[in-house]
Amino acid sequence: MIIKRILILIGMGLIWLATASSAQELSGREIMEKALHKTTWKDMQADVTLILQNPRGEQRVRKIKMFSRKRTENESDMLMRFISPPDVRNTAFLIIEHADGDDERYLYLPALRRVKRIASSGKGGNFMSSDFSYYDIGRPKLNDWTYRRLPDEVVEGFDCYKIECLPASPEISRDTGYNKIIRWIRKDILVTVQSHYFDRGNRLWKILTVPAVEEINGVWFQTDLVMQDVQTNHRSEMKFENIKVNVNLPPRFFSVRYLQRVW
Amino acid sequence: MFTITRWVVRHPWWTIVLVLAVTAVLGYQIRTIKVDPDITSALPQDIPAKRLYDRMNEIFPSRDFILIAIESDSLFSVEVIQHLYRITRQLEDMPDVYTVMSPTNVKVIRGTESGMEVREILEEPPQTAQEVDVYRQTLFHSDLPIENLISRDGRMAGIMVFLKNTIKPEDAADQILQFFEQQQLPFNYYITGKPVLTYYLGRGMARDMGILFPLVILIIIVILWISFRSFRGVLLPLFIVISSVICTIGLMAIFGVPISHSTNMLPILLASIAVADGIHILNRYFEHAQHSRRSKDTVLAVMKELNAPVIITSITTSFGFLALNTSHVGSVGELGIFTAVGVMIAMVFSLTFLPATLSLLKIPEKIREHKRRSLLSRLAIGYANLLIRHRPLAMGFVIAVVLFAILGFPQIHLENNTISNFPEDHPARLAFEKVNQNFAGTTFLAVMVEGDSAGQIKEPRVLRDMVQLEAFLKSLPHVGATLSIADFIKRMNKVMHADSEAYNRIPDDTVEAIGYEWVERNGRWVEVPVKFKVPGRELVAQYLQLYEMSSKPDDFANLVDYQYQTARINAFIDTESANVLREIEQKTRAFIAENFHSARVELTGTSQLFLAINDLVVGGQFWSILASLFLVTLVTTLSFRSVTIGLFNAIPLLFAMIFNFGFMGWTGTYLNIVTMLTSSIAIGVGVDYAVHFIHRYQMELAMMSEEESLRVTMVEAGVPIVLNALTVGLGFAVMMFSIFAGVQNMGMLITLAMFTTCFGAITILPVIFLTFKPQVLKKKEIPQ
C-alpha cells in the first residue's frame, strides 16, 4: 500500500514536472500576449481613490469616478470625473487613445466652464501628477517591447512568470522614460502583480506592487496598485471600488461635449 | 604639587612612558576627526533664526543651490546650447542633486488655442541655427523668472543646481567642480553658491593647516634655538608643543567636535601658548645649571620655584579661552573649551615630562648664557631708569594712546562677508563676483508664508499679497529676482485668457466670466453661453490641476508644501554683506507688517543666518571680554590673596583691549566672527605678563626700595616677559599667512595684543607702582 502511494505521489510529481516544463517552454512574448488578451470586457466603470504621498508622508487624496471602454482592439477611451477635493469637484478628464499617434487629452474646468485640451507630453508624462505615467495606466502595446523570460519566482506566495521587457526601439525608451521593465505575472490568473521600472540611466526608478486583485464577471482586475518612486520616495496608490463590467456605456459618453455636461 | 614633582623625578621612565602612551592613544583617535567648514553650522540650535531655517528645510526638499555660469560670446550657437543641454541632463542625473534649473530645461507654460501646455523648453538638443533661434525666442518670451538663468547682458547662461537637503553640500560642490574640470568646454565657466564657498573654505582651512602649523613649529624651533643653543632646549619644549596639540585634536575627535572655521586655528594658538611653560622652565634650568652639577637637584630646585607660576598662568590662560563660550556661537565655544583643555595638557606635560627627561640628562658642560644675559639686563635696567626718571612723560604717553584709541571706537564696523574673506584672485571669489554681478544673486532670503489651514495658499488674497511683496523685494537694491508659486499662477491666468496682458495677475476673490454649457434640448445637445460667478480659489485650484495634468509630482515642492498651506518666496541677493542683508531684512519686515495680513509671514534663508551670526558676534564680544576679565581677575585675586592686586593684573589687559578696538576702528578692520576671538584670547594669554611682573616685584619689594625693586624686577621678570611675548606673538603672527582675510586680521590683532599687554605689564604697572606706592604689595606674603 505504502509503496503504491509513494508511486502515485512520484507519478503526480512527474506530471507536475511535465506541466511545469511545458509551461517553461512558453516564451516571454507568449506569456505577455496571453496576459494582454485574456480579458474580454467591452466597458467598465469604477470608483477610484488616488492617494499621492510625498516623502514627508503627507497625502493628497482624490476621489474619481472612472469610465472606460475599448474602442478598438488596441485603443481605449477613458473618462474621469473628480468627486473631491472640493475645489476641483466636477472637473473631468477625457483620454482618447490613438494607436498610431498622440493621445487626445481634455480637461473640463467648471470654474471656467471650459474644456481645455492638454498637450500630450508623450506617454512618459505623469498621469495627474502621480507616479503613474500615462503609459503605466494605459494598455501595454505588445510590439513596443522585446521580451525575455527569466526564471520563475514566487511573489507574495504566488507562482509568477518573470519577464524582462526591453524597449523595441530607442523612441519607445525615450517616450516612456524606461530602459527596462521587469514584470512578475501570476501564473494562475495572468495578472501582473509586481513590476520594476528602470530609468534611462538603467537605475531602478519605480516599483509597482499590487496588494489586491479581484475577479469581476470573470475578469481579473488589479484593484489596488501602489507605485513607489524609489529615487524620490514619492508614492502613489490607486484603489478601485464598485467595479462594474460591460454596462453598455453609450459611445457619446466619451466625447468632448459630454465632458461639459453639468452633473 | 611638589610631591608630584618628586615622584616624577624619582620615576622618570614611568613618566615618559605614560606621556608617550597618552599621546599615542589620543593621537590614534585623530583618524576619526570630522571637518565642517560651514560657518552657519556654528549657530546654536535654540535661536529662532536657526529653528526657522531648519523648519523650512523640513517643509521644502531643497535649500542650497550651486549656480554655474557659462560665458560665451556665442552663447546662442548650436555648439554651446548642445553642451548646455548635455550638461544639464548630466547634472540632473547626479545622486546629490534634487533638481536643476537651466535655460535648456525650464518649463514653459504656453497658451494653446484650446488649453494650456506645460513642457520643457527643449525636448531634444537643437541641431540647426534656426532651431537655436526659435529656442532663444521662446526663452526670452516665456515670462518666466530667468534672472538667474540668463545674465543681464545676455552673454552668460546660468544653471541652478538645487541640492538635496540630506547630503553634505560641500561634497556635492566638490563633485560638480570635478565634473566640470574633467571636460573640454569651448567656453568659460564660473561655479559659485554657498556650497561652493563652504567647499573652498574647507580647502583653504586644510591648506592653512598644512602650511601654517609647520611654519609655527619652525618659528618655535628658531626661537628655542636662539634662546638656548642646545638640543634639549629645542627638542623638549617642541615635544610638549606637538604632543599637546595631538592630544587635544584626539580629544576633539573623541567628543565628535569637528575642525571648523574656528577650531581650525587651535593648533597654531595652542602651539604658541604651549611652548611658554617650557621656555620658563628651561630658562630657569639653565640658570641653575651654572651653579649645580647634579641633575635631579637642579630639576627639583627649578620646579619648586616654577610649579606655582606655571599653574597660575595656565589656569588664567584657560579661563580666558573658556570665556569664549559666552558667545553662543558653537564652534567658537568649542575652540575655547579645547584650547583650554590643550593648555592644561601642555601644563601637565611641562610639569611632568620636562622634569622627568631633564633629570635623566646630564647637566651640559658649558652654558653660554652670560653674554646675552648681560646685554638684555643692561637694556632692562636702562628701561627701568627711563621709567623712574620720566614717570610723568610715560604716564602722559599711555593716557594719550588710550584717548586716541577710544576716539577710534565709533569707527569700528561690524561686517561678516564670506566672500571678502577670500583673496581677490581666489577662484571662489572670482566666480562669486562674476556671477553676482551678472545674475540675480546667489544669497537668498526666504519668505515663508504660512496659512492656518490646508489650501490657504490657493486663496487669491494670499497670492496677491505675495505678488505685492515680491514687487517690493525686487525694488530693493541688491535683490535681483524673486520666485514663488504666485508667479506661476499669474502666468497661468494670463495663458488661460488668450495671453492677454490684462490677465497677468492673480484672479479676483470672485471671478465673473462667460462660459459655455452643453445642454440637452429636444433630444439634441446644444451649446449655450452662460454668465457665472466662481470663487477665485476654485479657479486657482483648477489652474493648478490643469498644470498637474502634465507635470511631475513634486514640480512645485520647493515653492509650496504638499497641502498648499505653506509657501515660500525666494529672493535672490547679489551680496553676502551683513550690512546690506540687514537693511533688506528691516525694510522687508516693515513692509510685511504694514501690507501682508492674509497669512503669517516669517523671514529665513542664508541671509538671515548670516545676520544671526553677526548678532551673536556683537553680543558675544562684549560678554566674552567681560567674562574673561572677570575670570582672570578672580584667579589672580585668589592667587595673590588681594582684590587690589587682582585688579592691578587687569590693568595691562584693559589697556590692550582699548588699544585693540582703537586699532580696529582706525584701520577699518571689521569686527566679525574671527576677529571677535582676539580679545578673550589676548586676555587669557596676556595676563601672564602682569602675574609674572607683580609676583617678582612683590618679592623684591620685601627686601628693597621701590626703585631698586623695579630695576631688579625688570631684569628678572621683564626680560623673560618680553621674550615670551615675542615667542607667542610671532607664533600667532603666522596666522597672517593664512589665505583668509579674517584669519590674517586675527593674527595681526592678537600679535599686537601680545605686545600691548606686555607693554602694559612692563610700563603701566611700574608707573602706577612708583606713583601710588601701594601698600598692599608690601604687606602680602608671596603667593605659593
Predicted-complex ipTM score: 0.77
Q: Which of B423, B432, B288 is nearest to B363 (CA)?
A: B288
Is pLDDT above 70 for A135?
yes
Mean pLDDT computed over B661-672: 88
Mean pLDDT computed over B177-182: 92
Is pLDDT above 60 for A134?
yes
**Which residue, chain included where needed, has cell 602694559?**
B760
- Hey, of A84, A118, A230, A263, which one would you mutate to test binding to chain B, going by the most B CBs within 10 A of its CB? A118
In chain B, what residues touch A58 (CB-CB under 8 Å)? 561-563
In chain A, what residues touch B118 (CB-CB under 8 Å)? 119, 121
Residue A119 lies in a domain: yes
Q: What is the pLDDT, as a whole number, of residue B530? A: 79
Domain count, chain A: 1
Residue A180 lies in a domain: yes
Q: Which of A137, A143, A115 is nearest to A124 (CA)?
A: A137
Of B119, B514, B538, the CB nearest to A121: B119
Mean pLDDT computed over B65-74: 90
Most confident of B251-255, B442-446, B639-643, B776-780: B251-255
Burial bucket for residue B455 (CB in 10 Å: 0-12, 13-18, 19+)? middle
Q: What is the pLDDT, as a whole number, of residue B399? A: 94
Q: Coil, strand or helix: which one is B507?
A: coil
3 state SS for B734-763? HHHHCCCHHHHHHHHHHHHHHHHHHHHHHH
Is pLDDT above 50 for A18?
no
Full residue range of the structural domain in which residue A173 is found: 28-259
Q: Nearest-5° angle of CA A52, CA A55, CA A56? A: 100
Look up the CATH number of the domain holding residue A140: 2.50.20.10
| Contact status of A55 with chain B (Cβ, < 8 Å) | yes
Is pLDDT above 70 for A263?
no
Rg (CA), chain B: 34
Is pLDDT above 70 for B27?
yes
Of B515, B552, B563, the CB nearest to A112: B515
Residue A20 lies in a domain: no
DSSP string covering A209-242? EEEEEEEETTEEEEEEEEEEETTT--EEEEEEEE
Q: What is the pLDDT, as a whole number, of residue B669? A: 85
Residues ≥6 apart with Cβ < 8 Å to B483: B145, B559, B569, B570, B572
106-145 in chain B: CB under 8 A from chain A: 112, 114-119
B445–chain A nearest CA distance, Å: 24
Phi, psi torsion values for B219, nearest 5 degrees: -60, -40
CB B546 to CB A115 under 8 A?
A: no
CB A107 to CB B455 under 8 A?
A: no
Is pLDDT above 90 for B305?
no
CB A116 to CB B513 under 8 A?
A: no
| Contact status of B548 with chain A (Cβ, < 8 Å) | yes
B321-333 pLDDT per residue, tens: 888 887 777 788 8
DSSP state letter for A76:
E
B636–chain A nearest CA distance, Å: 57
Phi-psi region of A122 (alpha: psi -120 to 50; beta: other; left: phi over 0): left
Residue of B nearest to A87 (CA): B538
CB B553 to CB A229 under 8 A?
A: yes
Residue A11 lies in a domain: no
Is pLDDT above 60 for B655?
yes
Of B517, B546, B555, the CB nearest to A113: B517
Residue A108 lies in a domain: yes
Q: Where are the domains of chain B?
A: 1-32+200-365, 62-198, 369-411+613-784, 434-511+530-610
Burial bucket for residue B23 (CB in 10 Å: 0-12, 13-18, 19+)? buried
Q: What percent of chain B has pLDDT over 70?
A: 96
Of A112, A125, A232, the CB nearest to B496: A112
A108–chain B nearest CA distance, Å: 9
Q: Which of B157, B282, B188 is nearest to B229 (CA)?
A: B282
- Domain range B369-411+613-784, its CATH number among 3.40.250.10, 3.20.20.70, 1.10.10.60, 1.20.1640.10: 1.20.1640.10
Residues ≥6 apart with Cβ < 8 Å to A56: B58, B59, B562
Q: What is the pLDDT, as a whole number, of residue A184? A: 93
Mean pLDDT computed over A35-58: 84
- Span B1-32+200-365: which CATH code? 1.20.1640.10
Q: What is the pLDDT, as a whole number, of residue B371? A: 52
Mean pLDDT computed over A117-145: 77
Would the CATH topology of B1-32+200-365 be identical to that of B369-411+613-784? Answer: yes
Rounded Cα–Cα distance for residues B737 and B729 (Å): 14
CB B118 to CB A87 under 8 A?
A: no
| Contact status of B94 with chain A (Cβ, < 8 Å) | no
The overall pTM is greater than 0.80:
no
Residue A5 lies in a domain: no
Rounded Cα–Cα distance for residues B68 and B89 (Å): 14
Q: What is the pLDDT, as a whole number, of residue A5? A: 61
A198–chain B nearest CA distance, Å: 13
Q: What is the pLDDT, as a whole number, of residue B353? A: 93
CB B517 to CB A111 under 8 A?
A: no
Residues ≥6 apart with Cβ < 8 Å to B697: B709, B710, B713, B717, B765, B769, B777
pLDDT, averaged across chain B: 86
Q: What is the pLDDT, as a whole number, of residue B255? A: 92
- Hey, of B110, B533, B562, which one would you mutate to test binding to chain A, going by the most A CBs within 10 A of its CB? B562
Which range among A196-200, B186-190, B321-325 shows the weakest confidence by mean pLDDT? B321-325
In chain B, what residues touch A105 (CB-CB under 8 Å)? 549
Residue A218 lies in a domain: yes
Is pLDDT above 70 for B264?
yes
| Contact status of A263 with chain B (Cβ, < 8 Å) | no
Residue of B nearest to A175 (CA): B123
Is pLDDT above 90 for B563?
no
Is pLDDT above 60 for A14?
no
Residue of A nearest to B96 (CA): A231
In chain B, what residues touch A170 (CB-CB under 8 Å)? none
Residue of B nearest to A131 (CA): B553
CB A112 to CB B455 under 8 A?
A: no
CB A118 to CB B549 under 8 A?
A: yes
B562–chain A nearest CA distance, Å: 7
| Contact status of B166 with chain A (Cβ, < 8 Å) | no
CB A111 to CB B534 under 8 A?
A: yes
Outline where B118-265 has alpha helix (H): 129-140, 169-181, 194-228, 231-254
Of A87, A109, A121, the CB nearest to B546: A109
Mean pLDDT computed over B359-365: 80
Rounded Cα–Cα distance for residues B737 and B744 (Å): 6
| Contact status of A262 with chain B (Cβ, < 8 Å) | yes
Mean pLDDT computed over B11-24: 91
Is pLDDT above 70 for B679?
yes
Q: What is the pLDDT, as a whole number, of residue B513? A: 77
Which range among A77-81, A86-90, B219-223, B607-611 shows the weakest confidence by mean pLDDT? B607-611
Residue A149 lies in a domain: yes
Rounded Cα–Cα distance for residues A197 and A191 (Å): 17
A166-189 pLDDT per residue, tens: 998 888 887 788 889 999 999 888
Residue of B nearest to A57 (CA): B562
B107-150 pLDDT per residue, tens: 887 776 666 777 788 878 888 889 888 888 888 887 777 778 88
CB B551 to CB A126 under 8 A?
A: yes
Of A60, A116, A126, the CB nearest to B546: A116
Residue of A nearest to B99 (CA): A232
* Per-residue pLDDT band at B784 (split at 50, 70, 90): very low
Is pLDDT above 50 for A21?
no
| Contact status of A113 with chain B (Cβ, < 8 Å) | yes
Residues ≥6 apart with Cβ < 8 Å to B7: none
| Contact status of A34 with chain B (Cβ, < 8 Å) | no
Q: What is the pLDDT, as a whole number, of residue B1? A: 66
